Structure 1
C-alpha cells in the first residue's frame, strides 16, 4: 500500500486511526512533568449572575448531569492537588465558586500549595453583613491550614457583571472592599476586568470606595485605599466564546488579541505554561515553569490546560498525578504543545483546515483554543501524524513493531510531504 493510499484509509475512520497511532507511537523522553504549575478547579457550572459575555454560558440552569463534586470527591481531589506539588491553585471558572462555598472553605483548610487565587463575581456582597460574614469564614478556614498559603480573592468587575440579569452592583464590590479593609483577613483582595472597560470600571470602583487609581503597566492598575492598602486590578482580553459569541464583533476593537496579549511572555522553552499568564500578570512578571497546568471541571473531568486534545480528557477516579501525566503525554499532540507552543498548532491547522483555524482564533480565547482547533476528527488525526513525525525525527519516540499499523505508519510519518498529504486527505474525506 502506498503512503497516499494508507492515508486515505486512515482518514476513512479518523477516530479509530488516531487510537491505533497512539498505541503504536511510544515516547522515549524522560521529561514528563512530575509536578504541577497552576491547578484550576471549577467547583460548579452554575452562576446566579448570568453575564451576557460569559465564556461558559453559565446561569442557574444545569447543563450536565453532574454539576459539582461530592464531599468525598472533593477530599480525593484535594489529595490529588497536594500530590501534584503545584505552585498555585486557582478556584475559578465554569460558574460561580461561591455557589459551593463549603467547598471553598475546605480547600482553604487543606490545600498544600504556595499560592491560592479565588475568582468570584461578588454577587454575595449584596449586604455589608453578608460580605463580612463570608470573609470571616474564609479567614477562619485559612487559619486552620498549617501550610499557610498566600491567598488572593479576586472579584470580576466589568460592564457585563454590573448590567447582568442579576447584576453585581458597584455597592456590592464596595461592601466587600470595606469589609475586607475592616476585618484585615490573612488574604489579599483584588479585581479583574476586560480591556475595553479600562478607564471606566476601575474609576467607578475607586470612587465607590473613596480610593485613588494608579496605573502599573499595560494590563494592571492599583486602587489605593486611604489607609495605604493597595487592591490590584488586572485587565484581560475580551473573548467572544460562550454567550459572548452572540455579541458584536466590534467589541474586540478595544482589546488585544490573545496572540498580542501573551507575546511578551512567550520567550521561554516551556510555552505550554504560558497559557496561564493572565493568572500571574497581576504580579507584573511571569516565569515559565516546567510543571503542567491542570484543569479539573465540576463534573470530574480533567486535562492539561491548553495541552490536551479533547478526546484525551480523563474522568478523575483516583489516578495519581504521575498516572495522569503518563496518559496525557502518551499523545504526541501534548508533546507538540509543550515543545513548540499553541501557535505552532494553530499554524498547522491553518494549513490543514483554514476554516477551523479562523473560527477558533476569532473567539480570542486561549482557554478554548486547543479544543476548537482540534475539534474535527480528521484535523486531530492529521496533527497526531505530524506531531509523531517530529518526535520520531528528533529521536524522542519510536514505533512499536508489534503494532498492527507499524510498517505503514513508519512509512507515512517518514514522508517529507506529510503536511501536504494530510491536507489532501482531509479535503478528500470531506468531498
Structure 2
C-alpha cells in the first residue's frame, strides 16, 4: 500500500523538493572548506567545430552570454583564489584561446599551485604565431607571484584533424617543436580518444620524429629526438553533444566510464568526482578533502558531479564558503560527495531504468549527474532517499512539521522502493 502523503508529494515533485530542502538540516561539521580541481570555461564558442564535440561547440551563439566579461573574470579570479583550489583547469565549453587575454590574466594572477589549459590548438597554424603565443603564456605565468606549475594540453584525434576548420597535424608539430626548442617554463601534453589509440599518437610522432612508448592501457609517451617527453592520454569516447548524431559506432572501440574510472575509486564502487583533483594526463584522479567546482562561461557554477541540475549558482552573489553551504543544504550533494556517482547511478537504475540507461549510454561524466537527475520525480525521489539515509544515521534532521517527517525518520522505511512504486504508478518518467 502506497503512503498517501508520499503520493501527494509526487504530484508536484518540484514544489515538494523545494519544501523538503527548506525543512532539511544537516549536522555535518566537516563540510569541505576549500577546492580541489576548479574548472573554468572561458567561452562557449570554438572555430574548429568538431563533429564529436560534447558541448556541440562551434561559432554559433547558443546563449545570450558566450563568455565572462572583464569584470566577471576579475570576480572569478578572486573566487578561485578564495577557494584555495589545488588545480585550475582552463577548459571546456569552447576554445579558451578565443579569450587569450583572459587566459593570460588568469595565469598572472590566480592563486593556485597548478594550472592546466586544454585547447584544440588551431591557433598554432604557423611556427611564428605559435612561438609568440607560447611566449605570452610563459611570460604571464612567470609574473604570477605564486609561480604555478603549468601544462598546455592539446586535444588530438580524428575529429580535430578532419573538422570543418581542421587542426592540421603540423599545427601540433609547431607546438611540440616550439616547446622543445625554446624550453618555456611549462610542460606540454596531448589527449585523445580511445578509438584513436595507435593512430593519433603515431601521426604526431611521425610529424616530429618522436618514438611512442606505452605507459599503460590509457597512456602513451612521446620521446622527442632530444630526449624530452610528452605525455599522451586516451579517454573514453563520449556520445554526448554532437556525437549523438554521428553514424559510426564506437561502442566496440571504447571502454565505459566505469572501466575508465575504476582505478580511481577510493574504494570498490565509490567514485567521488566531486572531490577529485583531475590529472588525467598523468593517469590519476587524486582523492581530496576539497571540492571540484565548474564555472561556466555564462557565470553559473556548481560542484562537478556533486550538484543537482536545479541547484546551480551564479557567480558574484556568494563567497566560496557561502556557496558550499548552499550546495550542502541539498541531500543529493551529500550523496554524491560521500558515496559518489556510482551510488547515484545504482539508485537511478532501480528507480528509473530507462533514465539510467540513457544517461550511461552517453559515456560522459560531465553530463552524467544532470542526465540521471533530469526528470523531476526522479530528482525528488533521490532527495527523499538521501535525506532518509542521513536522518536515520543521525547526520541530519527534518522539521517535524514537514508532512513526510515521520517516514524520513523511520529506520524501517524503504524509501527507494516506496518512491519507485509511486514513479511506476505515475508513469511519467521515461
Do the structures match in fold with TM over 0.5? yes
SS of alignment partner, residue 287 of structure 2: coil
1:353–1:249 distance in 2 versus 1, CA, 3 Å: farther
Instruction: Report the alpha carbon displacement of residue 367 of structure 1 after superposing the two structures with TM.
Output: 0.9
Gaps of 5+ in 1: none
1:426 aligns with 2:426: no
Quick one: distance in 2 between partners of 1:225 and 1:249?
Answer: 34
Deviations 1:137-185 (A, max 9, x none): 1111111101011100000000000000000000111111112222211
Quick one: distance in 2 between partners of 1:51 and 1:424?
Answer: 43
Number of equivalenced pairs: 426
1:274–1:338 distance in 2 versus 1, CA, 3 Å: closer
Residue of structure 1 in register with 2:252 after alignment: 253
1:76 aligns with 2:75: yes
Q: Is the 8 A contact 2:45 2:59 kept in 1?
A: yes
Instruction: Report the alpha carbon displacement of residue 3 of structure 1 after superposing the two structures with TM.
Output: 6.5
Residue of structure 1 in register with 2:180 after alignment: 181
Instruction: Report the alpha carbon displacement of residue 28 of structure 1 after superposing the two structures with TM.
Output: 0.4
Instruction: Report the alpha carbon displacement of residue 285 of structure 1 after superposing the two structures with TM.
Output: 4.0
Quick one: distance in 1 between partners of 2:94 and 2:282?
Answer: 25
Quick one: distance in 2 between partners of 1:126 and 1:139?
Answer: 19
Quick one: distance in 1 between partners of 2:192 and 2:273?
Answer: 22
Gaps of 5+ in 2: none
1:272 aligns with 2:269: no
1:59 aligns with 2:58: yes
Residue of structure 1 in register with 2:103 after alignment: 104
SS of alignment partner, residue 287 of structure 1: strand
Q: Is the 8 A contact 2:118 2:152 kept in 1?
A: yes
SS of alignment partner, residue 379 of structure 2: helix
Q: CA RMSD in A?
A: 1.6
1:411 aligns with 2:407: yes
- Relative to the length of structure 2, the TM-score reads 0.96
Alignment of 1:196-275 (within 5 A): 196-248=195-247, 250-268=249-267, 271-273=271-273
Instruction: Report the alpha carbon displacement of residue 248 of structure 1 after superposing the two structures with TM.
Output: 3.7
1:285–1:427 distance in 2 versus 1, CA, 3 Å: closer
Q: Is the 8 A contact 1:310 1:375 kept in 2?
A: yes
Q: Which 4+ residue blocks in structure 1 deviate beyond 4 angstroms?
A: 274-277
Quick one: distance in 2 between partners of 1:226 and 1:318?
Answer: 51
Q: Is the 8 A contact 1:44 1:95 kept in 2?
A: yes
Quick one: distance in 2 between partners of 1:275 and 1:244?
Answer: 28
